[in-house]
């Protein structure tokens, strides 16, 4: 193979590193998006036997948002293999123990249950906060967009912008907001 072709192949099959901010996101919805990047299904060169998956780094996994009552009601099952080793852990308990587990289980569940699954899961890095090791952060070159809109908190917007924001109507001074 000539040098030009070799280098072209190297570039086409290069493995990119993506970053995903899990703040206030539903883990099960985000899992579908993350699994696409991990398996390489976002690439036109995808083939299940191709090993073309990318690396995804998830940050702020402590900040994920489950829907409705799920924090209180969703239970994760685990069996040690020994008799009497079944255990049901509620979502909030699991999250307190290890903040990365919920999103990890969600991505694992979203993938097809074949022998490549465990190998592909090793390409996923989950960090509970903003603190990511330097060498991992240096590799990252792309960001995956969040699925749910994260609104900006009022006390995080600078004061002058709040003051200058156009108002539809002025509340009278003695108006009491219920």
User: Interaction with other proteins in 60-119: which residues (CB under 8 A)?
Assistant: none
Q: Which is nearer to other proteins, 51 or 98 (CB)?
A: 51
Shortest approach of other proteins to residue 54 CB, angstroms? 8
The mark string for 28-47 relative to other proteins (x by CB under 8 A, - otherwise) is ---------------xxx--
Under the criterion CB under 8 A, does residue 122 sit at the interface with other proteins? no
Under the criterion CB under 8 A, does residue 2 sit at the interface with other proteins? yes
Q: Which is nearer to other proteins, 46 or 118 (CB)?
A: 46
Under the criterion CB under 8 A, does residue 21 sit at the interface with other proteins? yes
Name 65's Cβ contacts closer than 8 Å, sequence gap at least 6.
24, 25, 26, 148
Binding-site size for other proteins (CB under 8 A) equals 38
How far apart, in whole angstroms, are the C-alpha atoms of residue 116 and residue 119?
Answer: 5
Neighbour-count burial for 11-38, b at 16+ CB within 10 Å, e otherwise: eeeeeebbbbbbbebbbbebbebbbbbb
Using an 8 Å Cβ cutoff, are 144 and 20 in contact?
Answer: yes
At how many degrees (to 10) do helices 101-110 and 27-39 cross? 60
Site residues (CB under 8 A) for other proteins?
2-4, 7-8, 10-12, 14-17, 19-21, 43-45, 55, 59, 135, 137-150, 165-166, 168
């Amino acid at each position: 193979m000539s040098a030009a072709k070799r280098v072209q192949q190297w570039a086409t099959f290069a493995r990119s590193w993506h970053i995903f901010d899990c703040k206030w996101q539903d883990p099960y919805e985000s899992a579908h998006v993350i699994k696409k990047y991990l398996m390489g299904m976002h690439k036109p060169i995808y083939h299940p036997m191709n090993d073309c998956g990318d690396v995804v780094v998830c940050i702020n996994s402590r900040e994920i948002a489950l829907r409705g009552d799920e924090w209180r009601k969703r239970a994760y099952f685990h069996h040690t293999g020994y008799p009497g080793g079944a255990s049901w852990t509620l979502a909030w308990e699991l999250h307190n123990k290890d903040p990365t587990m919920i999103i990890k289980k969600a991505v694992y569940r979203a993938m097809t249950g074949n022998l490549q699954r465990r190998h592909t899961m090793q390409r996923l890095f989950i960090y509970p906060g903003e603190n990511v090791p330097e060498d991992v952060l240096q590799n990252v070159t792309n960001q995956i967009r969040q699925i749910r809109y994260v609104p900006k908190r009022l006390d995080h917007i600078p004061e002058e912008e709040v003051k200058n924001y156009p108002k539809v109507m002025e509340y009278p001074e003695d108006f009491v907001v219920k």
